[in-house]
Amino acid sequence: MGTSHSTDPGLDRIQRWMQACIMTQGECEEAIQSRAAQTVIPAADAPGLVKPSATMQALERLDVYRQMYLLRLEEALATDYPTLKHYLGESEFFRLVARYVEAYPSRSYTLNRLGDHLPEFAGTLTDIPKPEFCRDLARLEYAVTLVFDEQETPKLTPEAIQSVPQDAWERARLKPIAALRLLEADYPVSEYMGAVDEENPFPQIRKRKTFVVAYRRNYLVHRLDLKRPAYELLSALAAGKQLGQALMDVCVPGRKPAVKESQLFEWFRDWMAEGLFQSVEI
Amino acid sequence: MANNRWGYPDLGFGIGLRTVHYEHILEKRPKIDWFEILSENYMDTGGRPLYVLDQVAERYPVVLHGVSLSVGSTDPINFDYLAKLKALGKRINAHWISDHLCWTGVSGLNVHDLLPMPYTDESLRHTIERVRTIQDFMERPIALENPSTYLEFSASNWTEWDFIARLAEEADCGILLDVNNVYVSSFNHGFDPKDYIDKMPADRVVQHHLAGHTHKGTHILDTHSDYVVDSVWELYRYTYRKIGPVSTLLEWDASIPSFDVVHAEALKAKRYREGVDLEAQELEAVSSYGD
């Protein structure tokens, strides 16, 4: 043990002060003079809390941690929202992140939860290009992250389908796999994501209703763009509606364009092939 | 051979399990002694990371290494986090569980950095108590890693090496001695890294880390983004002479090259150890020559 020191404000105050300095954006001097930092340690006492090194002043050393903070959080959010970053560009995305983490600082031990509020936050901004498109794009990317991490559930087997009595299908419920999210958007966000990921042509970013299901198969996340009635049918099934009722709701007389039987067949064939359901419940 | 008091084996020379290497590992099943995983990457997922981990754990020894224990924080211990960590350790039969001597946040917030502790009597008492509580809950000893730090608090009245040695003794926990971190902090704070190694209680050191770093001129950042520098290899050699054989892990977390490059870097540690063994044998031969 060494000698006791007179400049010891105590562990809790040191931690609250350092954290306030790290999370306050701007220059280091501004950070130590911020209300959050000065609530704990007066700015005049701050430089004395940290020892200078042979090459750096006390506050320069504190600034090392401050500079790494935003870079680290930007890296984490860029991992979850790569397409939004692509759309906004590096500097605009960084500016978004800086404002976002001020509004929604991390409260979890895992960085996986850091971006939970980014879609709604992006939608509230007025000084980024097409905030509503950014919101929808972020909603889709958020859905993809949830699908990526969902628990694995069994797939519906042909044997399970064959075991359902013919007359039971009307009241049957098709339970979707856990790793599935449905999204209705005001912009062609799935097409945009496809353009970035798969080098498809970029869509025009104009307001247009689009529908997509994000799901996981063989531990890889996929997206399937849907027509409105297919989206409605799949949403109804995912919500636990009986198959007969869900079909009646979608095939309502007078709907334009009418849903054809051949379309229904195609949708179910595709959904089964992609493994979107885990069981049939009677 | 195990030199530590818990009998944890010397697993040899491993690397961190990283996403970019998943395919290579599953397809090629490379011959490697062991893997270390970043615990938090596998705790809240039921997807591909866990699927890959289960397969890796079937074939290789695995050790859990976390960044969110926040053992030095004045916030309450997060038992939800600990429960998940404990379950993950059981799921893959982890050889041991480690984290860092640091804090990551306070007042319910998380900075997601390994922040430095003031090395004071109060900090020591506080951390000892928390490590004991954590180990009781986990029903196993944990190992704490010496972090790379970029500032020192004026309040500190302990050196880091004395602090961590006393902490390990009083809390009865292990030490993950990161040789690169010793080097990085020695440059940043101006001490002799050998003094640090000399004070480590050998019977509590259960693992070593090695990594590359980034020299910024005025300070060194622990970036895990490059090959291990010669000075750190020399310090590793010195550490091996002092402490003996300990499971050694090469960390490479940014600009990650191919699996083979990372593995080859890890295996350099084996050659350093063999070099020291050879020297010792030669010395013994010389000294016994006159017998």
Note the pLDDT tens digit of each residue in A167-211: 999 999 999 999 999 999 999 999 999 999 998 999 999 999 999
The answer to whether B45 contacts A148, with C-beta atoms less than 8 Å apart, is yes
The confidence score (pLDDT) of residue B288 equals: 81
The pTM score is 0.94
Calculate how close chain A gets to B163, using CA atoms only, in Å.
Answer: 8
Q: From B121, which residue of chain A is nearest by alpha-carbon distance?
A: A1
The rounded mean pLDDT for chain A is: 95
3-state SS assignment for residue B193: helix
Q: Contact, B242 vs B198, CB < 8 A?
A: yes
The confidence score (pLDDT) of residue B291 equals: 65
Chain A CB within 8 Å of residue B43 CB = yes
The answer to whether B157 contacts A1, with C-beta atoms less than 8 Å apart, is yes
Q: Are strands B247-251 and B205-211 parallel, antiparallel or unpaired?
A: parallel
The answer to whether B156 contacts A69, with C-beta atoms less than 8 Å apart, is no
**What CA–CA distance (Å, rounded) separates B25 from B27?**
6
In the CATH hierarchy, which top-level class contains the domain B13-289? alpha beta
**What CA–CA distance (Å, rounded) separates A60 from A28?**
8
Among the partner residues A5, A109, A151, nearest to B68 by beta-carbon distance: A109
Contacts with B74 from chain A: Cβ below 8 Å = 11-12, 15
Give the type of residue at B189: H
pLDDT tens string A97-153: 999 999 999 999 999 999 999 999 999 999 999 999 999 999 999 999 999 999 999
**What CA–CA distance (Å, rounded) separates A196 from A190?**
10
Contacts with B153 from chain A: Cβ below 8 Å = 14, 49-51
pLDDT tens string A68-103: 999 999 999 999 999 999 999 999 999 999 999 999
The confidence score (pLDDT) of residue A2 equals: 43
**What CA–CA distance (Å, rounded) separates A183 from A187?**
11
pLDDT tens string A263-279: 999 999 999 999 999 99
Chain centroid offset of residue B171 CA: 18
DSSP-derived letter for residue B115 is B
pLDDT tens string B68-80: 999 999 999 999 9
pLDDT along chain B (291 residues), means of 10: 87 98 98 98 97 98 98 98 98 98 98 98 98 98 98 98 98 98 98 98 98 98 98 98 97 98 98 94 83 65
Query: For chain B, what percentages of helix, strand and coil (3-state, to nearest 5) are there?
Result: 45, 15, 40
For CA atoms B263, A218, B60, B38, give the dihedral sign: positive
Length of chain B: 291
Give the type of residue at A24: T
Calculate how close chain B gets to A218, using CA atoms only, in Å.
Answer: 8
The answer to whether A148 contacts B78, with C-beta atoms less than 8 Å apart, is no
**What CA–CA distance (Å, rounded) separates B201 from B243?**
8
Contacts with B256 from chain A: Cβ below 8 Å = none
Among the partner residues A4, A106, A150, nearest to B110 by beta-carbon distance: A106
**What CA–CA distance (Å, rounded) separates A182 from A150?**
14
The fold for domain A151-281 equals Outer Surface Protein A; domain 3 (3.90.930)
pLDDT (mean) for A199-227: 97
ipTM of the complex: 0.95
The answer to whether A51 contacts B151, with C-beta atoms less than 8 Å apart, is yes
The confidence score (pLDDT) of residue B179 equals: 98
Contacts with A154 from chain B: Cβ below 8 Å = none
Which residue matches tokens 């759309």? A87
* Strands laid side by side in the A180-185 sheet: A180-185, A210-217, A220-226
- B interface mutation test: which of A6, A19, A69 has the most B CBs within 10 A? A19
Calculate how close chain B gets to A186, using CA atoms only, in Å.
Answer: 29
Calculate how close chain A gets to B259, using CA atoms only, in Å.
Answer: 22
The confidence score (pLDDT) of residue B287 equals: 83
pLDDT tens string A45-55: 999 999 999 99
Chain A CB within 8 Å of residue B76 CB = no
Contacts with B159 from chain A: Cβ below 8 Å = 2
Calculate how close chain A gets to B289, using CA atoms only, in Å.
Answer: 46
Name the B residues in 163-182 with CB < 8 Å from any A CB: none
Among the partner residues B44, B111, B217, nearest to A23 by beta-carbon distance: B111
Contacts with A61 from chain B: Cβ below 8 Å = 150-151, 219
3-state SS assignment for residue B106: coil
The answer to whether B151 contacts A148, with C-beta atoms less than 8 Å apart, is no
Among the partner residues A2, A8, A51, nearest to B152 by beta-carbon distance: A51
- A interface mutation test: which of B124, B151, B170 has the most A CBs within 10 A? B151
The answer to whether A53 contacts B104, with C-beta atoms less than 8 Å apart, is no
Among the partner residues A58, A69, A108, nearest to B113 by beta-carbon distance: A69
Number of A–B residue contacts, CB under 8 Å:
149
Q: If residue A246 lies in a helix (H) or strand (E), which one and from where to where?
A: helix A243-250
The answer to whether B112 contacts A105, with C-beta atoms less than 8 Å apart, is no
Q: From B165, which residue of chain A is nearest by alpha-carbon distance?
A: A1
Q: At what angle do helices B179-189 and B230-243 cross, to 10 degrees?
A: 120
Calculate how close chain A gets to B165, using CA atoms only, in Å.
Answer: 11
Taking Cα atoms as reference points, which of B246, B249, B180 lies closest to residue B215? B180
The confidence score (pLDDT) of residue B3 equals: 81
The answer to whether B47 contacts A110, with C-beta atoms less than 8 Å apart, is no
Contacts with A51 from chain B: Cβ below 8 Å = 151-154
Q: Contact, B35 vs B271, CB < 8 A?
A: no
Structure tokens at A220: 């890889």
Q: Contact, B144 vs B204, CB < 8 A?
A: no
Structure tokens at A142: 């958020």
**pLDDT range class, residue A6, cuts 50, 70, 90:** low
pLDDT tens string B26-77: 999 999 999 999 999 999 999 999 999 999 999 999 999 999 999 999 999 9
A3 has a pLDDT exceeding 50: no
Name the B residues in 100-129 with CB < 8 Å from any A CB: 103-113, 115, 117-118, 120-123, 126
A189-206 CB burial, b ≥16 within 10 A, e <16: bbbbbbbbeeeeeebebe
The answer to whether A56 contacts B219, with C-beta atoms less than 8 Å apart, is yes
The answer to whether B151 contacts A50, with C-beta atoms less than 8 Å apart, is yes
Structure tokens at B94: 């982890």
Among the partner residues A22, A76, A219, nearest to B47 by beta-carbon distance: A219
The H helix count followed by the E strand count for chain B is 10, 10
